[in-house]
A and B are shown apart, each in its own frame.
Chain A
Amino acid sequence: MSKLNVEGLNFHYGSKQVIKDISFSISEGEFVSILGPSGCGKSTLLNLLAGILKPDSGEIRIDGTQVRGMSKHFAYMPQKDLLLPWKTILDNVCLYGEIHKKKQEMKKYALEQMKRFGLEGYENSYPDELSGGMKQRAAFLRTTLCEADIYLLDEPFGALDVITRGDMQDWLRQISTDLKKSTLLVTHDTDEAIYLSDRILILGKPGEGIRKEIVIEERDRDRDWLYRQGEMRAEIYRIIKQGDK
């Protein structure tokens, strides 16, 4: 059975139908990327799942149960790190614990996780002392501490420089195979999608829906493997550009 099931989702901004009849599902532990031209409604789709926006119609089901609005099943990570500048990194990553009154036990667990997230020794630093990549890793650690089943990542590395982004992708590839959580990644970076995903959903123009679905079987990936995927990259590019006149 699939973990997340989205059926016939519709949403409009004003008179513009941004999301039209979108259906897809994600199975337990699967990493799915959503690719598409800018303005195609990628981020809107994620906001609908996170409950920040309300769909006009359609159903979102987790383990077969319908969810509405904000749900503890989703952990949402936006593009900006949104770390609170007056809190230490440790306090920042424990935000979920602070809200749900279990900060102390979460702190203990967070400290154990610091090394894995490359933040060892920075527990008591403030966000402005960290590099862009480290801030993003801290934001991701905060997301993983949400006790949620599904991660929603909205262009998490979009604001980083190319080199740091590459490092972060290597790191995320490593860590997501360890975490085995169902993940939905929104990105405009084709390589990022190919490198990280089990499946790629390509969205068409606003209101068009899902144009194509690409399954990537290869488990044992590295950068060299990624560089050899020229054909897949070209195909994805062609699909995105389809009907662009």
Chain B
Amino acid sequence: MKDKLRKAAPALMIVALLFFWEMVVRLFQVPMYVLPAPSSVVSALFHNIPDYLYHSGTTVMEALVGMAISLVIGVMIGIIMDAFPLVRDCLYPVLVVSQTVPVIVLTPIFIIYLGFGYAPKILTVVLMCFFPIVVNFCDGLGTIDPGYENLVRTYGGSPWQMYRIVKLPSAMISLLSGMKVAATYSISGAVVGEWIASQSGLGYYLIRAKNNYLMDKVFACVLMIILLSLFMNWLVKLFAYLVLPMNRRKK
């Protein structure tokens, strides 16, 4: 009984908060353009579900393409940095400093360079996702027990075999944790890109709803962004399940 209560506690907490929110809005008759009740947020979402699905589609597409590009570039640069310590020493500090530049100030510049299409949004996603992927992956490659390296070398393995047999699989766990962080960033990155200039996507829809003081729709967008971020996270978990065979065995 106590265990069950423990497990249910987070859900109960959220339900209690939502209930409190609903009560406050109803009791004090807070106007909708200030704070919509959770019930009106959900009803706004369901009454406009085709719109939300359409705009979510754009956002998810940008996030997925951005993630895929970050993954490919991140893995390539991670391997190069691991194989050539000089490259790592040169590049690592630059990568860290590059993260201190807020992406939101760069996005307008990308729009000037790349136009109003999907490219600047995808680039925003890439800039946000690339860093956690490359840093986690590179650290993962760097912390492998040198005993494994010696073992493969004494067995006559080539440097390429070293990566294929030992290094890449063992850095997979760090790569996946980087991807989990990146997955949650990816949706926010796409939304930020859409804010500045776009014709579709949740960011575009959110700005339009805000300009009309339709706060229930704005909150519904926020809800949708949360759900999509969780969805991206779940996709990474699915990917992890597929690439790590030892997670697949029956317990």
Contacts and interface: CB of A to CB of B under 8 A. Distances in A.
Interface of A: 50-52, 70, 72, 74-76, 78, 80, 82, 84-86, 95-96, 98-100, 126, 128, 146
A76 B148 CA distance: 12
Given A78-B150, A80-B145, A126-B246, A86 B169 contact: yes
B155 A146 contact: yes
Given A86-B170, A95-B165, 11 more contacts: A50-B150, A52-B153, A76-B150, A78-B151, A82-B147, A84-B169, A86-B246, A96-B155, A99-B155, A99-B165, A126-B246
Given A85-B246, A86-B244, A70 B147 contact: no
B176 interface: no
A54 to B, nearest CB: 13
B156 A70 contact: yes
B181 interface: no
26 contacts: A50-B150, A51-B154, A75-B154, A76-B150, A76-B154, A78-B147, A78-B151, A80-B147, A82-B145, A82-B147, A82-B151, A84-B148, A84-B165, A84-B169, A84-B170, A85-B246, A86-B245, A95-B152, A95-B155, A96-B156, A98-B165, A99-B155, A99-B161, A99-B165, A126-B246, A128-B246
Contacts of A146: 155
Interface residues of B, number: 21
Contacts of A126: 246, 249
Nearest to A100: B156
* Residue of B151, B169, B172 with most partner-chain A CB within 10 A: B151
Contacts of B246: 85-86, 126, 128
A110 to B, nearest CB: 15
B148 A82 contact: yes
If over half of A's interface residues share one DSSP class (helix, strand or loop), that class is named, otherwise mixed; here it is loop
A160 to B, nearest CB: 17
Contacts of B249: 126
A78 B244 CA distance: 26
B158 to A, nearest CB: 8
Interface in B111-134: none
A99 B150 contact: no
A208 to B, nearest CB: 26
A126 B169 CA distance: 15
A53 to B, nearest CB: 10
Contacts of B154: 50-52, 70, 74-76
Nearest to B245: A86
Nearest to A126: B246
Nearest to A146: B155
A50 B150 CA distance: 9
A175 B249 CA distance: 32
A80 B147 CA distance: 8
* Residue of A75, A99, A146 with most partner-chain B CB within 10 A: A99
Contacts of A128: 246
Interface string B135-151: 00000000001011011
B159 interface: no
A149 to B, nearest CB: 14
B69 interface: no
A82 B166 CA distance: 11
